[in-house]
Structure 1
Amino acid sequence: MSIESQVVSPARFSAQIRSHALQTRIMDLILEQGLDVGDALPTESELSAVLGVGRNTVRESLKVLQALGVIEIRHGFGMFVAPNNFSALTDGLAFRGRLSLRHRGEEAMELIDVRQALESGLIGSAIDLMTEEHLDGLRTTMELMDAAAEAGEPLAELDAEFHRRLYAPLNNELLINLMDVFWKVYRQIHQALGSGPVDLGDQARVHWEIFQAVVHKDKPLASERLQRHFDGIRRKLKDVAAS
């Protein structure tokens, strides 16, 4: 490493720390001013004056916060507190998971572990709150899945819908959003691994087994069957690690 790079590197890290601190300060300011989703932020000039930094510095931090989904910049209208948006999280997790497939697939396996723990751990609470209406919705989804499997059509969207309906009784918007994030990441990793021959009938059967455990309010069995739901992709990831 050259003397020049040794001198520049600490300065670069220091700038990153200052930039992160400014982003945090802007988020704190949003909370301090009682702003909520859809509310307008102060202008760049106003933020510059309040924070004691130049407009260009503020602008760069605002761009980062936009990428993180904290604020929304509408050109010609201003800046606003952004609604819930998990796309940045999805893209980042999917990238890290797919990138890990180039070596041992460890990060991809960790993502599967988290999704598995999330679903199998919460199914008991969902069963406690499950109504006949919820069960009817699950049954309808399963019937559509059977029809799609018989027609040789992909089941991915119906699979995702089944899992959303499974946890709908919890009425937890954050949970559903996180599940959608992990589902999209899971699909991208699955596609990157290569699907190979798919037994659509077997996929539908696995979901019927989960549904039956839920209908009978058998929490341990439902949790066990949800965990087994991830066996296929786990085997593929282990093959990646062994190769």
Structure 2
Amino acid sequence: MSISTLTPKARFSAQVRLRALQADIMELILDRDLDAGDPMPTESELCEVLGVGRNTLRESLKVLQALGVIEIRHGFGMFVAPSNFDALADGLTFRGRLSLRHEGLEALQLVDIRQALESGLISASIAVVGREHLVLIDAAVVKMEELAARGEQFAEADAEFHRLLFEPLGNDLLMNLMSVFWKVYRKIHVEIGTGGTDLVNTAAQHRAIYNAVAAQDPTTASELLSRHFDGIRAKIRNFVDSE
């Protein structure tokens, strides 16, 4: 008898079986046309339909809850979870912070993705932004400028500026992804520290981006956004090199 005959195949491992069960539960949600907030079948029904034991089912349900697929409300039952990007933010934050202790690859890649999203979509946003919305973006820049003049950090105003830039697109998924990237960046920012940040210059960068948007100049706005992220990338590299 060969060694391969004696060794269980990987697809029969407990981990793989649990992943398959999680996929089956998600397929069941789709097949039954359930929507966010809809009640899930009971544990007993799921065990019967999926042909698994209660303990195995509960193990998979816990994973799906952590992934934001289902929501378990004790005393009420299980429901299809509403949109929740917390698990994605937590996972990316961990990977980014972990990379800072090595070569910083994941942290830099996160900056690359955010840079590509913002510089690539700004022209579409400029095409639909209205005057009233420009006033809101300008107010966020003014807030940054005022705080910078006092030597104070302006993370919230910065986040609001970038959110407002793309809000005219009406793309909820984009807004959620930008929120995730911002949460991740804030954690990485705390990790690498705020020393050496030129607040006045950073606020001026945002003013220049706003001016390009207000002038309906997508080419300049895209270039300025791209350059804005170069500073973040350089700071990450400097931190990694100093470790």
| TM-score (structure 2 length as normaliser) | 0.93
Return the letter of the residue paired with 2:213. V
Aligned: 1:143 with 2:125: no
CA distance 1:205–1:13, shift in 2 (3 Å): farther
Q: CA deviation at 1:156?
A: 0.3
Return the letter of the residue paired with 1:124. S
Query: Does the CA-based 8 Å contact 1:104-1:240 persist in structure 2?
Result: no
Between the aligned residues of both structures, percent identity stands at: 61
SS of equivalent residue, structure 2 residue 79: strand
For 2:105 and 2:31, the matched residues in 1 are separated by: 40
Return the letter of the residue paired with 1:215. A
Q: Map 1:53-92 onto structure 2 (within 5 A).
A: 53-92=52-91
Count of matched residue positions in the alignment of Structure 1 and Structure 2: 238
SS of equivalent residue, structure 2 residue 13: helix
Query: Does the CA-based 8 Å contact 1:123-1:219 persist in structure 2?
Result: yes
> Which residue does 2:51 correspond to in 1?
52
Query: Does the CA-based 8 Å contact 2:208-2:224 persist in structure 1?
Result: yes
> Which residue does 1:134 correspond to in 2?
133
Aligned: 1:167 with 2:159: no
Return the letter of the residue paired with 1:50. V
Query: Does the CA-based 8 Å contact 1:119-1:226 persist in structure 2?
Result: yes
Q: Map 1:14-25 onto structure 2 (within 5 A).
A: 14-25=13-24
For 2:48 and 2:101, the matched residues in 1 are separated by: 47
Q: CA deviation at 1:153?
A: 2.7
CA distance 1:183–1:13, shift in 2 (3 Å): farther
For 1:176 and 1:11, the matched residues in 2 are separated by: 39
For 1:190 and 1:150, the matched residues in 2 are separated by: 21
SS of equivalent residue, structure 1 residue 79: strand
Aligned: 1:233 with 2:196: no
SS of equivalent residue, structure 2 residue 78: strand
Consecutive unaligned residues in structure 2, runs of 5 or more = none
Aligned: 1:42 with 2:25: no
> Which residue does 1:106 correspond to in 2?
105
Q: Deviations over 1:135-192 (max 9, x none)?
A: 1111121222222223333210000000000001100000000001001111111221
For 2:190 and 2:114, the matched residues in 1 are separated by: 17
For 1:232 and 1:69, the matched residues in 2 are separated by: 33
Q: CA deviation at 1:237?
A: 2.5
Q: CA deviation at 1:11?
A: 6.4
Q: CA deviation at 1:41?
A: 0.1
Q: CA deviation at 1:233?
A: 2.0
For 1:173 and 1:19, the matched residues in 2 are separated by: 31
For 1:239 and 1:140, the matched residues in 2 are separated by: 32
Q: CA deviation at 1:16?
A: 1.1
For 1:223 and 1:130, the matched residues in 2 are separated by: 15
Consecutive unaligned residues in structure 1, runs of 5 or more = none
Q: Calculate the aligned-residue CA RMSD, in Å.
A: 1.9
Q: Deviations over 1:79-99 (max 9, x none)?
A: 001111111100100100110
